[in-house]
Amino acid sequence: QGAQEDAENSLRELAALAETAGASVLDGLLQRRPHPDPATYLGRGKAEELGMIVANLGADTVIADTELAPSQRRALEDVVKVKVIDRTAVILDIFSQHAKTREGKAQVELAQLEYLLPRLRGWGESMSRQAGGQTAGGAGMGSRGPGETKIELDRRRIHSRMAKLRKQIQSFAPAREAKRANRKRNVIPSVVIAGYTNAGKSSLLNRLTRAGVLVENALFATLDSTVRKTRAEDGRRYTLADTVGFVRNLPHQLVEAFRSTLEEAADADVIVHVVDASHPDPASQIATVRDVLGEVDARDIPEIVAFNKADLADADARLLLRGLHPDAVFVSARTGEGVEELLERIQSLLPDLGTEVDVLVP
């Protein structure tokens, strides 16, 4: 039962991701089986059923909610007769559309090449299969000959490009350090907004700072973090920064790219962890966000859980969420509910700076 629900949630997110990437999603298909079929992932029968759905709807792409082995992807394509891609390809697509900084772009390109490398052989094979059909005499035939030489060349070129990108990324690190050091010298406390994609982070940032940040009803509207300067009621300044949204099952090749953008969270004085109160499974989202924050050494930073979209949560839902996190603040970036309370909470957690204490010695 839980597995079914989990698969449905994951599929829902995949659909949202695909739409963010610019696709329109026509249908979804869930296959329950103890293990993926090694040949076609879905199993022959289900793959054929999918092929019929594809033909009926006139779809041009199938997206699998998993990482497919190159051979599975090819076998599925043979059955459904349209392009088959996987979840990672979709996320990479979105990353590449939205990466803005030089470092972000380099990280994304590196992730793309890492993803491409093990798949070269598969593409090479199907390419030479098409090109040299008359000479193909056996299963492994297509992978030999000129096709393989070209792949070897491509592979070498990709490796050297990757090495270059890694160097570039390393060279960015000091700049980041300098920025951090600078901020520390200015002693401006920093507040970072983290949370799942589509939880309403940039809407909330807008509410909190009245900054004109782009808000899109799309995942990854804010791939690059946005920093705003703001001021607490008592006059203390602090920065408020939005971070890249989390996604379920982030492919491991993307973890580095994702993490590099989250690194600044490790230097934050306060983390506002935004959770979509209308999401079907907030508990697992909260757990994932906390796991990753732990990985970037942000575990010990004071955290405020903010259940956003409170306007969509009825009394029962609130009770449930309250049970999950008694200390959470309910907010709505849309209606403004709870925003004052959140600001007060942030203010109460800002470190006390520059307070001079006179010690009287009797």
Q: Give me the least distance between CB of 317 and ligand GDP, in Å please.
A: 13
Residue 255's H or E segment, with its range, is: helix 252-262
Of 128 and 198, the one with the shorter C-beta distance to ligand GDP is 198
Contact string (CB under 6 A) for ligand GDP, positions 226-255, x = contact: -------------------x----------
Q: Which residues, 39 to 68, sit near ligand GDP by CB under 6 A?
A: none
Residue 202 touches ligand GDP, criterion: CB under 6 A: yes
What are the start-end ranges of the E strands in the chain?
61-64, 83-86, 190-195, 226-231, 237-242, 270-276, 303-308, 329-330
Measured distance CA(221)–CA(68) in Å, rounded: 27
Place of tokens 């030489």: 149
3-state secondary structure of 100: coil
Tally of CB atoms within 10 A around 194: 27
Tell me how far, at minimum, the Cβ of 201 lies from ligand GDP, in Å: 3
Segment lying near ligand GDP (by CB under 6 A), choices 40-48, 59-67, 209-217, 353-361 = 209-217
Could you tell me the smallest distance in angstroms from the CB atom of residue 282 to ligand GDP?
14
Q: Residue 102: phi, psi to the nearest 5?
A: -65, -40
Among residue numbers 300 through 319, which ones bind ligand GDP (CB under 6 A)?
Answer: 308-309, 311-312
Write the burial class of residue 205 (CB in 10 Å: 0-12 exposed, 13-18 middle, 19+ buried).
Answer: buried
CB of 322 to ligand GDP, least distance (A): 17
Cα–Cα dist 80/267, whole Å: 49
Q: Between 102-116 and 252-262, two packed helices, what is the crossing angle to 10 degrees?
A: 170
Q: How far is the CB of 88 from ligand GDP (least distance, A)?
A: 20
Cβ distance to ligand GDP smaller for residue 72 or 203: 203
User: First-to-last CA distance in the chain?
Assistant: 70
| 340 makes contact with ligand GDP (CB under 6 A) | no
Q: Which is nearer to ligand GDP, 40 or 261 (CB)?
A: 261
Count of positions on this chain that bind ligand GDP (CB under 6 A): 20
Considering only the stretches 117-125, 152-160, 200-208, 225-233, report the one whose residues sit in contact with ligand GDP under the rule CB under 6 A: 200-208
279 near ligand GDP, judged by CB under 6 A: no
CA 273 to chain centroid, in Å, comes to: 15
Show the tokens assigned to 300.
């010990």
Q: DSSP string covering 26-75, please? A: --------SS-BTTTBS-HHHHHHHHHHHHHHT--EEEESSPPPHHHHHH
- Tokens encoding 103: 């470092």
Of 263 and 311, nearer to ligand GDP (C-beta) is 311
Contact with ligand GDP (CB under 6 A): which of 171, 217, 284, 348? 217
- Quote the CA–CA distance of 192 and 229 in Å, as a whole number: 12
d(CA 51, CA 221): 33
Among 198, 260, 261, 285, binds ligand GDP (CB under 6 A): 198
User: Binder to ligand GDP among 107, 190, 209, 332 (CB under 6 A)?
Assistant: 332
Binding segment toward ligand GDP, per CB under 6 A, in 29-37, 52-60, 195-203, 291-299? 195-203
The residues that touch ligand GDP, with contacts defined as CB under 6 A, are 197-203, 215-217, 221-222, 245, 308-309, 311-312, 332-334
